[in-house]
Structure 1
Amino acid sequence: MRNILILLAVGGSAALLIAAFAAPLWGGPPPCELCLWQRYPHMVAVAIGVLALLLRGRTLPVLGGLAALTTAGIGAYHTGVERHWWAGPASCTSGSVAGVSPEDLLNQILAAPVVRCDEVGFEFLTLSLASWNTLLALGFAVLWFAAASVRRR
């Protein structure tokens, strides 16, 4: 049962990574900085999953669960940035232009990244991809922690 739970969690992270890397090839928007940040914990979870399938113990599934919670946290933060609940990183969000000279504003525009973190690039069932990542990653974390709790017989 432990290995099945790990395979489900790892398979979910791997599927999200494949979709994330393939989306721009299918005509989807390129990733913003926060989108990229969400991928790294999934990569770590996949690597941990390979090790967890080879080695026994509870440490690796717990670490996999923490990786899933990390990407869920980044996804929740990104969702808040997209919904303008809070400010995102200055490197990928827009700010106020009050009191900025036209020359400085032009320089900011020219230096701004092409893809902004505070705009929803794609929605499915009224949720952004960051929101979906959050929900799915929370599910993966449950699988990881369930795997950690399975006792050997």
Structure 2
Amino acid sequence: MRREAFLSFARFVAIMLPFGLLVGALVSQYVGGLFPCEMCMWQRWPHLLAIAAAMAAIGLRRNPFGSGVFTLLAALFIATSGLIGVYHAGVEYGLWEGVTTCSTMARPTPGQSMLDSIMEARLVRCDVAPWSLFGISLAGYNALFSLGGALLIFALLRKWSRS
């Protein structure tokens, strides 16, 4: 594999992984009806930052050093989301205590006061997994994919820098 291919593939993973995970989160929210809790929202912010860093890396593709730095930054943001996912999954599995507040998704309808919409809104608890597959919650899957993807990017950047 050519040296440039390692950096190119690292940039590809750095933009597609957080984009795919965010799309999955939004589809599960708006199509599947799985409203996010506060810690779910915390996991989304680093992915948005990772996308911005990966876009900068793609924009700097003619400057390999700058592109590598922004790709590394994207990997760090992806890993951050994964670590938040580990924390959230631990809260869901009862391994430790998380935040003690609950969040709501209040959406007032026309003619409805904000207070009425808040009072009718569904509470979303951080310590209850609304969905799981093979015993792994969405937070757990975010942790697995994010940390695995970050490790892949780190490995690709290491190969790129050494070749």
TM-score normalised to structure 2 length: 0.76
Q: Match for residue 116 of structure 2? A: none
* CA RMSD, Structure 1 to Structure 2 (Å): 2.1
SS in 1 for 2:71: helix
| Structure 1 contact 41–68 (Cα < 8 Å) conserved | yes
Give matches, 1:58-137, under 5 Å: 58-92=68-102, 114-137=123-146
SS in 1 for 2:153: helix
For residues 113 and 85 of structure 1, the distance between their equivalents in structure 2, rounded to whole angstroms, comes to: 25
Q: Structure 1, residues 59-113: CA drift from partner, whole Å, max 9, x if none?
A: 21221121111111100000111011111112239xxxxxxxxxxxxxxxx7x97
Q: Which has the higher contact order (CA 8 A, sep 6+)?
A: 1
Shift of residue 29, structure 1, vs aligned partner: 1.2
1:20 counterpart (18, 22, 25): 25
Query: Which structure 2 segments of 5+ residues have no match?
Result: 104-118
Give the counterpart letter for 2:59 in structure 1. Answer: L
- Count how many residue pairs are aligned between Structure 1 and Structure 2: 136
Q: Match for residue 108 of structure 2? A: none
SS in 2 for 1:76: helix
Shift of residue 8, structure 1, vs aligned partner: 2.0
SS in 2 for 1:44: helix
Q: Match for residue 151 of structure 2? A: 142
TM-score normalised to structure 1 length: 0.80
After superposition, the Cα gap between the structure-2 partners of 1:131 and 1:48, relative to the gap in structure 1 and judged at 3 Å, is same
Give the counterpart letter for 2:45 in structure 1. Answer: Y
| Structure 1 contact 34–117 (Cα < 8 Å) conserved | yes
Shift of residue 152, structure 1, vs aligned partner: 8.9
Residue identity (%)? 36
Query: Which structure 1 segments of 5+ residues have no match?
Result: 94-109
For residues 49 and 152 of structure 1, the distance between their equivalents in structure 2, rounded to whole angstroms, comes to: 21
| Structure 1 contact 92–113 (Cα < 8 Å) conserved | no
